[in-house]
Structures are given as C-alpha cells and as structure tokens.
Structure 1
Amino acid sequence: MDTARPRRPTLDTVAGAVGVSRATVSNAYNRPDQLSAALRERILVEAARLGYAGPDPVARSLATRHSAAVGFLLGQRLTAAFSDPALSIVLDGLATTVDGHDHSLVLMAGSAGPRAETVARAQADVVVAYSLPEDAPGLAAARARGLPLVVVDQPEAPGVAWVGVDDEGGARLAAEHVRALGHERVAVLTFALHPDGVTGLADRARLRSAAPGVAGRRARGYLEVLGEAPVWECEVSDRALGRAGARELLRLPGRPTAILCASDELAFGALAAARDLGLRVPEDVSVVGFDDIPAAEQAEPPLTTVRQPLTEKGRRAGELALGLLDGERPGRPLRLPVSLIERASTARLT
C-alpha cells in the first residue's frame, strides 16, 4: 500500500493543465497586466480546481530579495497597537494606504524598545518606525540592513523620511487657551521626558535636558507660554499613571486651577483624579488633553483637547513608505498642523 502523501500542486502543475508556460502562470499572479483578462481568468480557475494557492511568498522573497512587506516598528509591546487609541488610529491610516498595493504589514515590538534581532530577521523591504528613542536597537538594525526608513513622530534625523505634527505649536495653543480663560496657576502632566522610567515632579534641569521627542516638544510649548509651572512626569501615557500624577498636582500648595496634559489618556486620568478629590471639572479645575481620540468627545465632561490628524499621519507615513519602495528619496520633514478643540472640560476662572 502506497502511503506517500500527495504532492502539492505547483506552478508547473498548473502550467501543464492549462497548456501554457510556467512564466505565464507566474505572470497571472505577479504581473497580470502581461496577460489578457480571459487567459488570466482561465489560469486562476484551473489553479483553484487543482488546489494551488499561488506563489510561496517566502520562496519569492528569497529569490527576489523582496518580501512586499512594510515593517511597523513600535517602541512598546505589540498589544499597544490594539490598546493605545492614538497608535491604533495611526496604524489604521497606514494599513489603509498600504492595502491594495500588494504589500503586507509586519508588526515588530519589544517591551523596552524593539530588539535588534527582531528587525534583523524580519521579512520587510521598508520600515516605518513609530515614536522611538534615538538609540533604539531596532533602528540601528534597520539602518545596518540598509532598509528604507520612515519615522513617525521621533526621532528626527537627517536623510530620513519623517512625518509628525506641530507638537510645540499645539501645546502653545492649549496654554494660551487656559491663560485667556484667566488661569494663572497651571500645571503640566506629561509622559516620559527621559527614557529612564522616572516618575514625579520634573525640576528645571530635567526639563532643560529633556530627550528630543514628542514629550519634550510639548513641554517646551507649554512652558513658552506659562513660564514657570509644576510639571509631573509619568513613565508612559497611561490613565492610571495620569490619575496618580494629577492627584499629586492637585494637592500642591496653591492648587492649580488648570492642568495641561500631553495626551488624552493622561487627561482622562486627570478627570478621574479631580473626582477622587471632590473637585468639579471645569468649575474647580480645567483640564486640556492632546490628540483628540474618539473617546475625548464622549468623556465626562467632554474633553477640550489639541487635535492632531492621526489618520492623516498614518496615511502620509504609508505614502512615504511606498515612495521609498519605488526608489524615491526622502524629502523634507513633513510636519502636520494641529488645532484646539474647545469642549466642556475648560471654563473661565471665576
């Protein structure tokens, strides 16, 4: 009794059944413009009947040195792609742009920054790096492989395609808004100014030496308008950490009457902290966020925030990645505008 497993159908199997060359079958999948619609349809129907699913993408990448994949490099755990609202929207914009161009997405992440070996092994032709520190091993690995690189938010580097938003300008809008409402005692709640995991009040030296990136740019924008202000630094942009930090700020002598938050997630924590302490928003304390994720409008009360074009940021990153794959050179940094969205979490000081 022959117990040998049946052989899987191949390009040659389909070519023999249709009566065409192997190259013609390959063109039906990879270069459909080279065939008439009728011939391509006949090949695909016969391939389906034989159980042939198409060329092996791994084998094709080994043969051509192209995997038709866009690597998306995170500075957080992989779950952040689904749990971080702002990141999810950016990723959706990127995926929508890449979809339809015969490219897939490969997510790469590490708990303390992307591990170099992850990038070194990845089947990817271009890397989109999302909000990483300058010394992230994943960035070094991408550069060592000579992969085209698109950076979203940080770090900015000469000769690298970059897309982000006017973080400093947005922070200035938020600070000017609360100043115009009469608030003089204003505090700032931010995510990490340095990648060292420190949480607490940031002194002048720490603020001056803030690592280049989103948090530092937003802090500078706030302080350009405010001058002096207490700044509480959280390790990451997280509601629970924002809640704890805002409680500390609201217990300071000369309690602040407004809190400017470097993200909506931190602002949601600040809203909860005010409730914890029996304070009303906005009657006792005004709160401003940054991002304008969908939940901001549904917050209680609806959150005043700086709107950044998250979907467009992802879309532009995708366009840059596709352009690099087509041989384009990185252009000038693309800094997208922001706007202030006024809602019920801020009010004039009475």
Structure 2
Amino acid sequence: MKIERYFRNMRLGIAAAICLAPGALHAAGSVAWISPPDNSTFPVGTVVSPTGIANARGTVGGTGLDLALVLDSSGSMGTGVDTDGDGVNDTTRQELQQQAALALVNALPDFARISVTEFDTNAVLLQGLTPLDAGGRGTTAAAINSVDASGGTNLAAGVNTGRAELVANGAAGSAQRLLLISDGESSSTSATNAAAIAAAAGITVDTVGFPGTDAPTLSAIAAAGGGTFFDFSGNPGDIIAAFAGTGGGTPVGIDSIQITDPLGVTYNVGAGILGNFTAAGFGLALGNNVFSVLANFTDGTSATATLNLIGVGDLPQVPLPASGLLLLASLAGIGAMRRRNRG
C-alpha cells in the first residue's frame, strides 16, 4: 500500500538525517508490552488483545502511556491542502491536523492518557492528562476541535507547555511521549533546547511536519528529544492512515513487528505513528499464556519482550444445542418406561 511504501522510504532518508543531526545520540531500539500488566489474571476463556509500543531510538516500557499532543494553531494552518494529488485543495492544514489527531486518539488504547496543547505566538494547555475512556475520548476530541488558526509559530512554547504537564502529572511507570505537529518554522535553537530538557526528564519528543514545514528544524527538535521526525510535507494524503495505524506500515526506523501467541502462532502487525501496536484477540487457557513480540529495526538490531497472562477458574462448560437436550430427554423417558415395564 502507498502508506507502507512511504514508511519504508522514509527509513532511508529521514531516519538517517536524524541520527546524524548535530548533538544527536542514537539510542538502541526497544519494545515493550504496555497493557495488560504482566502476570495479570483473567477468567479462563477471556479474549484479550494485548498492546505494546516499539521505538527505534529509545527506551519504552512501563504500565501505561502518557502523551502530550502539541498542535500548531498558527495562522498558516488555515492554508489549503491538496491531499489526493488532483491539483485542487480539498481541505486545510488545520482540518487535516484535526482529523489526524482524532485518528490517533481513536487508535490509542483505553489505558492511555492524553493532554492537548495548542501553540501559536504563545502556548495554551487546553486539556490536562485525561484517560481515554468513553468520556475522556469525547473531551479530548472537543479540545482538538477547538484548535484555531491564528498568530505566529512558537515551537519552544508548545514543547515547554506539553513537557510541563507531563512532568507535573505524568504517572509513575508510564511511558512519557510528546508529539509536536507543525507546518512552520520558529527559533530552532530555543525549540531544540526545549526538546533536550524534555528528554532529560524522560520524555521522548517526536515531531510531525505538515505541508510548508521547516524540515531541518523539526528534525533537529526530534533528535534533541530522542524521538523521530515524520515528514508529511510531500504526501499529506497519507497522514490520517499513519496516525490511525491502518496503513499497514511501521514507523521510521522499525522494519517489522512480529508477535507470537501462546499457541506458537506467529504473525506480523502494523503500528501507529507512536509505534503502538495491538495483538490479535486470543482466548486465554488455564494457567500461563505467554505472548512474545520481536521488533526488528532498520539498523539491523532487534528487541524482544514477553507478556504472561494467567487464566484462572474452571473451564467454561459448553452448552448443549437444543437437539442435544431433546435427545437426553428422550433417553431419560425411554429409561423410565423400561423400568416400569420390568416392574
């Protein structure tokens, strides 16, 4: 598919640029199961779909995900965008950002928590870290849809505001991520410094470039933040599928994600823009049920992780179909008649 080719082509160009950016430190890739927690217990027969995160450039792990979503609300976001290549603008950068952010929210698991920051000349925290349960998804969508398009582009203010929320209210043991989306340029030095401060606090900073973006600036910010730069300036039509994780590809730096279920069945899965992936549904057997994941990275390295979920209780009884119940009733009746005849 087109989006899968996009992910693979980016690995050769953007990922290499990030690794070679001045001051960038290339961290080994990692993969971790995020939910449910290891050694959790469930009734036998419960169907589970474990989730995890892979990262080509840093450490992931913990028992949850805290994400600071930092959205560009500068005036240039009102510019039209041609997403299907027919030469006619069919949406705006602002609308495309909203659709992509909503696709990401819908793709993340319930245990994730998300904050929303908008930035133009200044930055404003629209929503603090909120669990993505039914109510949380609604309030997060409302915050995303409230982002306007006016003012300048202060990337550093956006990163600092998102970081401050994660530092103040991030959950202990959760993966801390900041995703910055922008179409413009700002003071590269101050924004890069802000990302480095976030990285020092254990926060991975990823950046996304929309049409009109200053690619070197966003690439440098991601490198300083230990994250990845995703450049959609030339292919805006692929943004939503990438954010939703439905394009069949994997993020920059990740070659493949392979899952083996407790029965030994192995299969590949795609991943969202944060490297988030979900295993296929599996009905738990009695006792230990071990899932494993292998993430292969484009630098030739790999990482693995295992997850054990424990099935408890008696095996569920399989109900007889109606015909089976009638047969038993008939046999019981025949037995009673024979006893009467013998008497």
Q: Same fold (TM over 0.5)?
A: no
TM-score by length of 2: 0.31
Q: Structure 1 or 2: larger strand share?
A: 2
Report which structure shows greater RCO (CA 8 Å, sep ≥6). 2
